[in-house]
Amino acid sequence: MDAKALPYKPNPKAPRQVLPVLQPEVRAKSAEEVALGFTADEVTIEAQRCLQCPKPACINACPLHIDVKRFIRRLAEGDAQGAVDVISEQSPFPGVCGRVCQHELFCEDACLIAKKFGPVAIGSLERFAADQARLAQVETTPGAAPQPTGKKVALVGSGPASLIAAFDLVRKNYRVTVFEALHRLGGVLAYGIPNFRLPREILHEEIARLQNMGVEFVTDFIVGKTASLEELFEEGYEAVFIGTGAGLPFLFGIPGENLLGVYTANEFLTRINLMEAYKFPQAVTPVRVGKRTIVVGGGNSAMDAARWAKRFGSESIVLFRRGRAEMRARIEEIEHAEEEGVVFHFLAAPVALYGDEQGNVREMECIRMELGAPDSSGRPAPVPIPGSEFRIPVETVVAAIGQAPNPTLQKVTPQLVTKRGKIVVNEWGETSMAHVYAGGDVVRGGSTVILAMRDGRAAAEAIDKALRETPAPQEQAPEEVRA
Residue 422, strand partner residues: 419
Q: Of the two residues 152 and 330, which places its CB atom closer to ligand FAD in the complex?
A: 330
Minimum CB separation of residue 136 from ligand FAD in Å reads 27
Minimum CB separation of residue 71 from ligand FAD in Å reads 19
Q: Of the two residues 187 and 256, which places its CB atom closer to ligand FAD in the complex?
A: 187
Minimum CB separation of residue 72 from ligand FAD in Å reads 21
Q: What angle do CA 418, 424, 430 make, to 5 degrees?
A: 135
Minimum CB separation of residue 123 from ligand FAD in Å reads 10
Minimum CB separation of residue 437 from ligand FAD in Å reads 13
3-state secondary structure of 245: coil
Minimum CB separation of residue 189 from ligand FAD in Å reads 6
Q: Of the two residues 56 and 445, which places its CB atom closer to ligand FAD in the complex?
A: 445
Give the C-alpha separation, 282 to 335, whole Å: 32
Residue 481 CB neighbour total at 10 angstroms: 7
Terminal CA-CA length for the chain? 64
**CB of 440 closer than 8 Å to CB of 455:** yes
Q: Of the two residues 449 and 467, which places its CB atom closer to ligand FAD in the complex?
A: 449
Q: What angle do CA 164, 210, 186 make, to 5 degrees?
A: 60
Minimum CB separation of residue 423 from ligand FAD in Å reads 11
Q: Give every CB contact of residue 458 below 8 A, 6+ residues apart in sequence.
A: 427, 428, 429, 439
State the greatest distance between any 2 C-alpha atoms of the chain, in Å, as a whole number: 80
Binding site for ligand FAD (CB under 6 A): 100-102, 156-162, 179-182, 187-188, 192-193, 222-224, 243-245, 247, 269, 300-301, 304, 330, 406, 408-409, 440-442, 447-450, 452
Give the C-alpha separation, 233 to 135, whole Å: 42
Q: Give every CB contact of residue 25 below 8 A, 6+ residues apart in sequence.
A: none
Q: Of the two residues 132 and 301, which places its CB atom closer to ligand FAD in the complex?
A: 301
Q: Of the two residues 193 and 366, which places its CB atom closer to ligand FAD in the complex?
A: 193
Sign of the CA dihedral running 335, 371, 450, 107 = positive
Cis, bond preceding 384 (omega within 30 deg of 0)? no
Rounded CA Rg of the chain? 24
Q: Of the two residues 79 and 340, which places its CB atom closer to ligand FAD in the complex?
A: 340
